Amino acid sequence: MRRCLRAAIWSLVMGGVAWGELLTPRVGHHPGYTRVVLDLPPGVTYTLEPLGPALRITLPGQAVIPAIAQIGLPELTGYALEQKGSDAVLTLLTPQGVGPGWGYRLSRLPALGGDGQRLVLDLSGAFVGLIPLEALPPFRFVKASGKRFGVVLDPGHGGPDPGAIGYVVEKEVTLQIAKRVADYLQAAGVGVTLTRSEDRALSADKRTDLAARLALAKGQTLYVSIHANAAPPAKAEEWCGLEVYYFGPAAKPLYPLAAPLWPDVSQIARAVPPTDPGAVAPVVATPPLPIASASPAESTSPAAAPPPAQAPPNAGVMSDGFDSAVVGEATEGIAPISPPSTLPALLPTISASQRVSLSQGLAVKVMSYLLSSSTATGRGVRVADFYVNKFAPVPSILVEVGYVTHPIEGVNLRNPDYLERLAYGIARGVLEYLENDYPGQ
């Protein structure tokens, strides 16, 4: 009844608008995204400019009363409505980043009343663009010793340890991605060892389980652990994005740019960090995005997300994220059963400082290709004391593929096509690193 009354009132208001000047946008926050609605006269054209930290909408021949507003939402910190010559320009400040086909979704709907129309923009770093993936380029991987590279892929958790639980279960997602990464690496001629290939733990004791996983790294080249993240309840609708960790001295996060997958870099350029005003994507025409239309009641009826996955009986939620409580993967109170003694055959003189430097280089490379293949938002390359990174005998990283607790990103992690893109990004980053950055290449 209230919704009908609001619609009727708005119909009367809009019916009386003479369209001499545009109204300020309406903003509503929903689980996982922010919705911005701009009421327009009939037949108005517009151009969108995804600028990384901002989304600019230009409406030719329209008049506005200039306005600036601070919003303070995770997906929208504020906006500016300006008159530039004969055009109206609305600039939305998007801290999670936007680009061609990602970071936002667009709908154009009839007005609730009168003869106008509504431009509806939903903003979220979890909105990804399903851009085509090219085949992996050829890699040489020729070593004078005749030995080939070997990579350990570690799908986090397993068996009685579910990992993080939200719209998906971490142990299931990590295994699916790891198997896909293995297929890419093996096709390129890299040897792959999976710490697990099914839903099981290497030991019921966490300390023993982690040590057993690391034991598989002896004599290998790299160690890549794959995990998914979880946010505390108060932040579950806000936190989303990719993170890659390595072990080293405390340092600020690094925000690498997305690596080019195509000759036309503009198709995948992502501004990182999202607030960097120097990263600007090209102007693009209004894209026909393959997304569901906005609700007719745009700011009052957000689409319902699929229900979260059900936790197994007596299962605890274990997260490996930088911002959430870490259970089971951190080094507190856990020492290796025996210090790793065998160094990788391809790099026999590695030192602790070299391992940190190599791990950081691998983390940056993998993050760069993850950003371009998935178009997900990046939360940076970070340092953390994860057990598998600290005690691995080879360069190692831990990849967090997203937040299972986010209403949009958690659902993305159910999508096989999206998992394929994550796997491609991890594999491409590893292969490019081995080809171009690994010592001796």
In a domain, 96, yes or no: yes
Helix boundaries (H) for 188-277: 206-215
* pTM for this prediction: 0.79
- What is the DSSP-derived secondary structure letter of residue 201? -
* Alpha-carbon dihedral sign for residues 350, 356, 359, 364: negative
* Alpha-carbon dihedral sign for residues 210, 211, 212, 216: positive
Strand, coil or helix: 400: strand
- Find the helix or strand (DSSP H, E) in which 373 lies: helix 352-374
Q: How far apart are the first and last CA of the chain?
A: 69
- Find the helix or strand (DSSP H, E) in which 372 lies: helix 352-374
pLDDT in tens, 288-327: 223 333 333 333 233 444 455 554 333 333 334 333 333 3
Strand, coil or helix: 176: helix
What span, in angstroms and rounded, lies between the C-alpha atoms of 271 and 418? 21
- Both 88 and 154 in one domain: the answer is no
What span, in angstroms and rounded, lies between the C-alpha atoms of 276 and 255? 10
**Model pLDDT, residue 332:** 41
**Model pLDDT, residue 341:** 43
The strand pairing partners of 122, in sequence order, are 35, 105
Strand, coil or helix: 362: helix
What span, in angstroms and rounded, lies between the C-alpha atoms of 198 and 70? 49
* CATH number of the domain bearing residue 174: 3.40.630.40
- For residue 439, the one-letter residue type is P
In a domain, 135, yes or no: no
- Both 106 and 177 in one domain: the answer is no
Q: Kindly report the backbone phi and psi dihedral angles of residue 395, in degrees, each rounded to the nearest multiple of 5, phi listed first.
A: -55, 135
In a domain, 136, yes or no: no
Helix, strand, coil: what percent of the chain each, to 5?
Answer: 25, 25, 50
- Both 190 and 100 in one domain: the answer is no
Q: Are strands 47-50 and 191-194 parallel, antiparallel or unpaired?
A: unpaired
**Model pLDDT, residue 135:** 83
Strand, coil or helix: 319: strand
**Model pLDDT, residue 233:** 95
- Both 72 and 180 in one domain: the answer is no
Low-confidence ranges of the chain (pLDDT < 70): 1-20, 141-147, 262-350, 440-441
Count of C-beta atoms within a 10 Å radius of residue 86: 9
What span, in angstroms and rounded, lies between the C-alpha atoms of 61 and 38? 16
What span, in angstroms and rounded, lies between the C-alpha atoms of 16 and 349? 78
Q: Are strands 222-229 and 396-403 parallel, antiparallel or unpaired?
A: parallel
CA nearest to 53, candidates 102, 95, 81:
95
Residue ranges making up the domain that contains 227: 150-436
In a domain, 320, yes or no: yes
User: In terms of C-beta density within 10 A (0-12 exposed, 13-18 middle, 19 or more buried), how is residue 98 classed?
Assistant: buried
**Model pLDDT, residue 297:** 37
- Both 119 and 155 in one domain: the answer is no
What span, in angstroms and rounded, lies between the C-alpha atoms of 155 and 407? 23
Phi-psi region of 437 (alpha: psi -120 to 50; beta: other; left: phi over 0): alpha
**Model pLDDT, residue 370:** 96
Angle at 199 between CA 195 and CA 200, to 5 degrees: 65
- Both 51 and 159 in one domain: the answer is no
Note the Cα 342 to chain centre separation in Å.
35
Cis peptide before 273 (omega within 30 of 0): yes
Number of domains in the chain: 2
* CATH number of the domain bearing residue 53: 2.60.40.3500
- Both 198 and 252 in one domain: the answer is yes
- Both 397 and 255 in one domain: the answer is yes
What span, in angstroms and rounded, lies between the C-alpha atoms of 206 and 217? 18
